[in-house]
Amino acid sequence: MPGPLSHIRVLDLSRIMAGPWAGQILADMGADVIKVERLGEGDDTRRWGPPWLKDRDGRNTKEAGYYLSVNRGKRSVELDLKSEEGRAVVRALAAQSDIVLENFKTGTLDRMGLGYEDLKSENPGLIYCSITGFGLTGPMANDAAYDFMIQGMGGLMSVTGGPDDAPGGGPQKVGVPIVDIMTGMYAAIGVLGALANRTQTGQGDHIDLAMLDVSVAMLANQAMNYLVSGQTPVRRGNRHPNIQPQNVYPVSDGFIVLAVGNDGQFRKFAEVIGQPALADDPDFATNAARVENLPQLEELLITALASDTIDGWVAKFAAAGVPSGPINTIDRVFAEPQVRHREMLRDIPHPLGGQLKQVVSPLNYRNAPLSFDKAPPLLGQHTAEVLAALGLEETI
């Protein structure tokens, strides 16, 4: 059966990460996503290597792993948007599209005659999502941004990393471009909301989505902790600010993640480590008490957990219903039996590399299952077929 968005066409004018991530989400759900790329150059991430995809003979191609991670399922068209011919193709595609994704600097597409007001005159139902670093309004509206700087500006790095007075302490970025990814997620949610609204009103919409806004929204419980207490959250390493015990703990052959989420789980945890009296001790019986008395509690836990291995503790805690797990390297993630069972890693045919491994969408629809049969496209791979469908010659 076709995916849930198989009736939708997306014109993806974006590049780098946030916009392409949104486009890939929509493509995974079956949308026809046409990725417009700069003539002769393509998306910046095509050059963000190594590593590079290897061809059938084991030689490096020009397809960077970064690009391959965010462009599955799309069709690539090369255009020169500085030319009137290139802009005319974009207008023709937009007239036949449901959604436009773009992340040009504020005002750039307006000056090209490709802004929302320009395109909706031909397609009133068009949903146009503008993704920028700081939004279309405000004192920084014209400034460029990247994920790393927004993680700093938006507060994420102030609560990520070890305490300043701890060895190796200080601000740290998240190990993946999390603001880009979450901005892409919000973009996908935003355009789907606008699609739902269009079924009621017949009208499209213009979504103004800023990476800095997303980063602030992502502060979640840390923001609310500050707003209700007036106390600025600080870096705590792996310790949770509100729920304990939740941390990385040393065991006899490495480390485990322990995520005890409530008092009932703590009672089970105390039984597993052979100290059931902890669950009745007034210093540790409730979560609030455990947060207040964390240094004393952790001293006890570190001693107790040193008596067994990673696999030993994980098995015991799983049997008792206490959330815990190993700290997997990426290779071990893909070897996890649960990850393998869920088929999160698939092989997709690629025109240069034979079979390309891809981490696929976590969405599982019963009645409209997703398919993953289109690899990230080569630069301009679909220019001829897209232009032919528009009745244009491939002369651009």
Q: What is the rounded distance in angstroms from the CA atom of residue 62 to the CA atom of residue 259?
A: 42
Q: What is the rounded distance in angstroms from the CA atom of residue 5 to the CA atom of residue 321?
A: 38
Compute CA 133 distance to the chain's CA centroid, rounded to the nearest angstrom.
16
Q: What is the rounded distance in angstroms from the CA atom of residue 138 to the CA atom of residue 161?
A: 31
**Which residues are within 8 A (CB) of 7 and not within 5 positions of it... i.e. 6 or more apart?**
none
26: closest CA among 79, 114, 103, 100?
A: 100
Place of tokens 């909301």: 193
* φ and ψ of 353, to 5 deg: -110, 20
**Which residues are within 8 A (CB) of 277 and not within 5 positions of it... i.e. 6 or more apart?**
270
Instruction: Transcribe 258-285 into DSSP letters.
Output: EE--SHHHHHHHHHHTT-GGGGG-TTTS
Burial of 326 (0-12, 13-18, 19+ CB in 10 A): middle
Burial of 206 (0-12, 13-18, 19+ CB in 10 A): middle
Q: Which of 180, 205, 213, 308 is catalytic?
A: 180
Q: Looking at this protein, which amino acid is placed at residue 203? A: Q
Beta bridge partners of residue 32, listed in sequence order: 9
Q: Looking at this protein, which amino acid is placed at residue 193? A: G
Q: What is the rounded distance in angstroms from the CA atom of residue 67 to the CA atom of residue 21?
A: 10
Q: Is 180 a catalytic residue?
A: yes
Place of tokens 């390297």: 329
Place of tokens 């990725």: 35
Q: What is the rounded distance in angstroms from the CA atom of residue 34 to the CA atom of residue 89?
A: 12
Catalytic residues: 180
